[in-house]
Amino acid sequence: MSSRRRSQWPDLRREMAASPARAFGTVYRRFQEAANQGYAARGWKGLTLSHVQFLSETEETGTRLSDVASALRTTKQYAGRLAKEMAAKRLVTLVADPLDRRAVLAKPTERGRAFLQDACEVRAELEARYLGRLSASRGAAFVATLRELAAVTEG
């Protein structure tokens, strides 16, 4: 519990509404929604940014689910559930790791590769749309700032 003085509810709401964190969340949710719509428009119904992120962390030769989970900063259980869903959609195959038969590797299929290709095109379109609303210098500064924040908040 906070030891600060107790603020009034309207003040708390105003504070949260004006927060940079709220702006981050809003932009992310809008990007995620537009990306998911973009995938669906290309025929990838039911696939989301989560599937893209999973594939982005998967090597062509296969990646252990525990390594995917670690890269995505999620649980092994969630990565396993997502992997099974993606295997059912024929985006990856799941095979035993030849170095440790207890571990499971996710390997992208040709269908998974095609989806990731489309997802990269959707991402590029959305980045152009979003950053195109800024001047070139402000867009570059925004991207540099995002990368810097990602780097300094890692870990």
pLDDT averaged over the chain?
Answer: 94
Residues 14-27 pLDDT 10s:
999 999 999 999 99
Rounded CA-CA distance 83/103 in Å is 13
What mean pLDDT comes out for the span 87-102? 95
pLDDT band at 3 (very low <50, low <70, confident <90, very high): low
pTM of the model as a whole: 0.88
Rounded CA-CA distance 124/3 in Å is 46
Give the model's pLDDT for residue 155. Answer: 66
- Name the nearest CA neighbour of 59 among 97, 19, 10: 97
Q: Where are the beta strands (DSSP E) in the chain?
A: 63-64, 92-97, 100-108
Rounded CA-CA distance 61/38 in Å is 28
Helix or strand holding residue 131 (H, E): helix 110-131
CATH 3.90.600.10 fits 44-152, yes or no: no
What mean pLDDT comes out for the span 19-41? 95
